């Protein structure tokens, strides 16, 4: 039984990271009906920002929650700015074009960021610095590190903050209006461009938050680190119902738990296959996702 609880803890820890990245996919899809494939690379840029800002602040090897908080905030701000820049330069000029054009552009932006990072920082992996001391606690035979606890609490706080932002604020109301019908929202006085730009900023900031939490537990940074994580987070968004904020959170947690239990009970070589098996199953059985609604489209 202790093994089961250990996998449960590890799965929840991983699932919250998937959920934070998946929220970026689902927010952009909600307002633009665009799958932003560059989102995974914003996650990567967030990790590099965390790496360099931690070195700039100093204190390598010393436990400091203030330093960790500063790194988190800097990384989220930089990634939020990057998300807004990508939206302004790459996607906004194509907003009136067919969706396929924007989709191809997203893939191009993704390649640009990956290869740009490779050129700037070399393809060699770097070690993400330790931001604070980690201690291990035991509940029976189940080990839980303080990094896992803090990462889980920070991720839950971010998701709760997003839930409040989307469903309890004027910006959230504007975002939901734009996602429903942009032209009508504009006629009602909603600043559509600004709303979409802030949506990109929020999604990118969450990706950077996920990158820091990921770096705390898996201290390795490289230009292509977002590739597989981004694909899995996309699967999590589809599983929960892409465009549905609570659904993406649940999808991320379900995917993290599924991966951890499959790997933990002797099928570790199939760990990466779990996400794609879930994607195929959900597309066949319920393409709108667990919490999504089927929508008829004119063709």
* C-alpha to C-alpha distance for 295 and 293, rounded to whole angstroms: 6
From first CA to last CA, the distance across the chain in angstroms is 53
Contact yes or no for 29/242 (Cβ under 8 A): yes
Question: Tokens 């499959």 — which residue?
Answer: 262
Do you know the residue count of the chain?
Answer: 299
Quick one: pLDDT at residue 61? 58
* C-alpha to C-alpha distance for 196 and 179, rounded to whole angstroms: 9
Quick one: pLDDT at residue 179? 85
Quick one: pLDDT at residue 293? 67
Q: Where are the alpha helices (DSSP H) in the chain?
A: 2-32, 39-57, 65-86, 99-121, 146-168, 170-180, 182-187, 192-217, 225-240, 245-264, 271-285
Exposure pattern of 18-48 as b/e (b: 16+ CB <10 Å)?
Answer: bbbbbbbbbbbbbbbebbbbbbbbbbbbbbb
Residue among 289, 279, 243, 245 at smallest CA distance from 259: 279
Quick one: pLDDT at residue 154? 86
Q: For the chain, list residues with pLDDT below 70.
A: 59-63, 292-299
Residue among 195, 249, 229, 216 at smallest CA distance from 84: 195
pTM of the model: 0.90
Quick one: pLDDT at residue 60? 60
* Angle at CA of residue 190, ends 188 and 193, nearest 5°: 135
Residue among 230, 273, 225 at smallest CA distance from 121: 225
* C-alpha to C-alpha distance for 175 and 199, rounded to whole angstroms: 8
Quick one: pLDDT at residue 299? 46
Burial class (CB in 10 A: 0-12, 13-18, 19+), 74: buried
């Amino acid at each position: 039984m202790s093994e089961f609880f250990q996998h449960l803890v590890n799965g929840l820890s991983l699932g919250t990271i998937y959920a934070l990245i998946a929220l970026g996919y689902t927010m952009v899809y909600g307002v633009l009906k665009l799958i932003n494939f560059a989102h995974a690379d914003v996650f990567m840029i967030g990790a590099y920002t965390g790496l360099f800002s931690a070195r700039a602040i100093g204190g390598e090897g010393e436990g400091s929650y203030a330093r960790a908080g500063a790194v988190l905030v800097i990384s989220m701000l930089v990634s939020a700015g990057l998300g807004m820049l990508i939206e302004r330069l790459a996607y906004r000029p194509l907003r009136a074009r067919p969706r396929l054009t924007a989709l191809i552009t997203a893939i191009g932006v993704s390649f640009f960021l990956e290869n740009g990072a490779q050129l700037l920082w070399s393809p060699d992996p770097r070690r993400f610095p330790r931001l604070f001391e980690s201690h291990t606690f035991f509940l029976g035979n189940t080990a839980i590190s303080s990094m896992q606890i803090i990462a889980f609490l920070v991720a839950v706080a971010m998701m709760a903050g997003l839930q409040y932002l989307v469903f309890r604020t004027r910006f959230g109301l504007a975002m939901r209006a734009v996602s429903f019908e942009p032209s009508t929202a504009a006629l009602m006085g909603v600043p559509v461009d600004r709303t979409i730009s802030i949506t990109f900023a929020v999604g990118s900031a969450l990706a950077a938050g996920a990158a820091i939490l990921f770096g705390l537990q898996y201290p390795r940074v490289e230009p292509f680190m977002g590739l597989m994580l981004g694909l899995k987070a996309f699967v999590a968004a589809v599983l929960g119902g892409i465009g549905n904020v609570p659904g993406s959170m649940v999808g991320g947690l379900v995917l993290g738990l599924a991966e951890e239990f499959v790997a933990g009970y002797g099928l570790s070589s199939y760990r990466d296959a779990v996400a794609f098996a879930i994607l195929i199953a959900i597309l066949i059985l319920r393409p709108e996702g667990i919490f999504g609604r089927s929508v008829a489209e004119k063709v």
